[in-house]
């Protein structure tokens, strides 16, 4: 068995009366381990307990045979941590930021600076290391955070949603970097993500967390095999539950990759058909070989593949993927398009309306207003660009898009994609209701 670096058993952590971890048990071994679960599953709480920032209410956790509650500094010296949220001091350059992180980890000042230059070169920011971090794009900020996690040469690196906010090319670059951390630098990583494809790409083992508990753990390859064995009856029951509530499932997202087998492609389309979906969705591919493979398979199954857009695309990018097959389509994100390009999506909706399978709606500022984000906003987003805003406070011409759909009687669905930060004193459901009301008024 691979050496265990971290082990936790019956671990319970509470925030007041709320249970965030509920008797979770598992281990992180040497190598690359994925911690997979939806937002709110307890991933970040588990990392904070490992770092000694949170004390368990029950159970225990150990790293390198040490208790983080008893020996927090000793544990932290051997761990690198890349948080999900931005964590940098204003007015500092990248090299100053990373060197400061090294000093906080116990390195001498001169050694911290030397290592800061080295790790910034490793993550691809060598030419930009003297720029202030606050001027960086989303992808560059993610790389800078990764460098701060590596500067003190830890034994294990905790990565909390490292691909968050990145476009497809940026995501691939970050995952490649994570793979290099393991293979070239010989470090172990824990990749926390809600994206199965990210975990499958770089990890050998996986823990699945939901509701504060570890639901299953094992090799990634075993998880793939288990997934292919799941009966379609479960998806039929899932579809019935939603249809009984008056909800139609129109799309299914389990993005196909070049690494997937033909059996996995068949599984994806089988699930989509069973759920009654009109199309499968994935990121707009930059790889021609992947585009051809998914386009051909969609045509074979006569169930469309719809490409989700962040900042990429536009007329030339759309023409490229739509010409691959009559069964290719767009899952067009009007908010991302405006936030990155600063251009109205209305002409593209008009031009490609017969090839749009579905729309994503969100309200974003334009590309010149990425930082700082106002209260209630979430700076940037996949593809970079302006902040996600509460609806009605951004600049995306949502009303024009909705009025066009109404006027032309376009039949494709448009979904509220909730991506702005929940304002203090509110909650997600309340905010979504506000978005729905915005749509109703825009269509009146």
Residues 364-373 pLDDT 10s: 998 865 444 4
| Span 62-78, average pLDDT | 94
Least confident stretch, 194-198, 305-309, 355-359, 366-370: 366-370
The domain locations on the chain are 4-224, 231-443
pLDDT of residue 228: 85
Two structure tokens written together for 302: 């006569």
What's the pLDDT at 54? Answer: 93
Residue 339 CA to residue 344 CA, distance in Å, equals: 10
Q: Please give the pLDDT value at position 380.
A: 53
Residue 292: is its pLDDT beyond 70?
yes
Whether residue 229 is predicted with pLDDT greater than 90 in this model: the reply is no
What confidence score (pLDDT) does residue 375 get? 44
Cis (ω within 30 of 0) for the bond into 372? yes
* Separation of alpha carbons 307 and 356, rounded Å: 9
Residues 317 and 284: their CA atoms lie apart, in Å, by: 9
Check if the beta carbon of residue 120 is closer than 8 Å to that of residue 97.
no
Is the pLDDT score of 310 beyond 90? Answer: no
Judge whether residue 342 has pLDDT over 70. Answer: yes
Altogether, the residues listed in the chain come to a count of 444
Q: Phi-psi category of 314—alpha, beta or left, where left has phi over 0 and alpha has psi -120 to 50?
A: left
The string of pLDDT tens digits covering residues 33-56 is 999 998 889 999 999 999 999 999
pLDDT at 316: 65
Mean pLDDT to the nearest integer, 351-357:
96
Q: Domain 231-443 maps to which CATH number in 3.90.1170.30, 2.30.110.10, 3.20.20.150, 3.30.360.10?
A: 3.20.20.150
Kindly tell me if the per-residue pLDDT of 374 is higher than 50: no
Query: Would you state the pLDDT for residue 268?
Result: 95
pLDDT at 233 over 50: yes
Mean pLDDT of 105-122: 95
Average pLDDT of the chain to the nearest whole number: 91
pLDDT of residue 312: 53
Please give the pLDDT value at position 377. 46
The more confident residue out of 232 and 258 is 232
Share of the chain above pLDDT 90, in %: 73
| Residue 386 confidence class, pLDDT cut points 50, 70, 90 | confident
* Cβ–Cβ < 8 Å for 364, 380: no
- The pLDDT, as a whole number, for residue 164 is 85
Reduce the DSSP state of residue 310 to 3 states and report it.
coil
Rounded Cα distance between 178 and 145, Å, is 13
* 98 within 8 A of 144, measured Cβ to Cβ: yes
Q: Give the contacts of 418 (CB within 8 A, at least 6 positions apart).
A: 362, 428, 431, 432, 435
Q: Using DSSP, state whether 219 is helix, strand or coil.
A: strand
Summarize the confidence of residues 67-91 as an average pLDDT: 92
Q: Are strands 58-63 and 4-15 parallel, antiparallel or unpaired?
A: antiparallel
Confidence of residue 315 (pLDDT cuts 50, 70, 90): low
Give 1 or 441, the one with higher predicted confidence: 441
Rounded to whole angstroms, how far apart are CA atoms 228 and 156? Answer: 32
The answer on pLDDT for 238 being more than 80 is yes
What does the alpha-carbon distance between residue 399 and residue 444 come to, in Å, rounded to a whole number? 10
CA nearest neighbour of 365 among 411, 396, 337: 396
Enumerate helices (H) and strands (E) in the chain, giving the number of each: 16, 17
- Residue 203's nearest CA partner among 186, 187, 220 is 220
Residue 376 has what pLDDT? 46
- pLDDT at residue 309 above 90? no
pLDDT digits (tens, 9 = 90+) for 119-147: 999 999 999 999 999 999 888 999 999 99
Query: What pLDDT sits at residue 412?
Result: 96
Hey, what are 103's tokens? Answer: 């000093």
Instruction: Tell me the CA distances in angstroms from 182 to 198, 314, 394, 425, one per residue in order.
Output: 15, 36, 41, 42
The CATH superfamily of 4-224 is P-loop containing nucleotide triphosphate hydrolases (3.40.50.300)
Residue 226 pLDDT greater than 50, yes or no: yes
CA distance 399 to 54: 45
CA distance 421 to 70: 35
């Amino acid at each position: 068995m691979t050496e265990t670096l971290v082990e936790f058993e019956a671990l319970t952590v509470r925030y007041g009366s709320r249970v965030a971890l509920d008797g979770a048990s598992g281990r992180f071994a040497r190598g690359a381990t994925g911690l997979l679960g939806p937002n709110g599953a307890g991933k970040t709480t588990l990392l904070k307990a490992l770092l000694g920032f949170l004390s368990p209410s029950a159970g225990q956790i150990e790293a390198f045979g040490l208790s983080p509650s008893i020996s927090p500094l000793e544990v932290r010296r051997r761990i690198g941590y890349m948080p999900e949220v931005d964590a940098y001091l204003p007015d500092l350059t990248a090299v100053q930021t990373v060197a400061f992180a090294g000093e906080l980890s116990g390195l001498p000042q001169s050694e911290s600076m030397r290592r800061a230059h080295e790790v910034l070169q490793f993550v691809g920011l060598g030419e930009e290391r003297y720029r202030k971090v606050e001027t960086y794009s989303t992808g560059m900020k993610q790389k800078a955070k990764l460098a701060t996690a590596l500067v003190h040469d830890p034994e294990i690196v905790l990565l909390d949603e490292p691909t968050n906010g990145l476009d497809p090319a940026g995501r691939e670059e970050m995952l490649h970097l994570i793979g290099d951390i393991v293979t070239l630098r010989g470090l172990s990583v824990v990749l926390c993500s809600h994206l199965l494809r990210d975990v499958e790409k770089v990890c050998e083992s996986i823990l699945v967390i939901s509701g504060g508990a570890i639901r299953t753990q094992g090799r990634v390859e075993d998880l793939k095999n288990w997934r292919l064995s799941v009966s379609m009856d479960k998806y039929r029951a899932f579809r019935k539950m939603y249809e009984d509530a008056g909800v139609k499932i129109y799309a299914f997202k389990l993005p196909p990759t070049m690494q997937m087998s033909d059996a996995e492609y068949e599984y994806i389309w089988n699930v989509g058909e069973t759920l009654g979906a009109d199309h499968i969705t994935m990121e707009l591919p930059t790889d021609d070989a992947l585009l051809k493979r998914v386009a051909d398979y969609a045509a074979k199954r006569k169930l469309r593949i719809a490409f989700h857009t962040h900042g990429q695309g536009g007329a030339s990018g759309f023409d490229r993927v739509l010409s691959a097959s009559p069964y290719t389509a767009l899952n067009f994100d009007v908010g991302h398009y405006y936030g990155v390009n600063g251009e109205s999506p209305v002409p593209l909706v008009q031009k490609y309306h017969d090839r749009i399978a579905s729309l994503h709606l969100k309200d974003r500022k334009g590309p010149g207003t990425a930082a700082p984000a106002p209260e209630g906003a979430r700076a940037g987003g996949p593809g970079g660009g302006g902040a996600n805003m509460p609806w009605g406070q951004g600049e995306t011409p949502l009303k024009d898009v909705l009025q066009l759909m109404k006027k032309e009687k376009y039949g494709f669905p448009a979904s509220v994609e909730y991506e702005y930060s929940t304002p203090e004193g509110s909650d997600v459901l309340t905010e979504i209701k506000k978005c729905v009301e915005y749509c109703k008024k825009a269509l009146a």
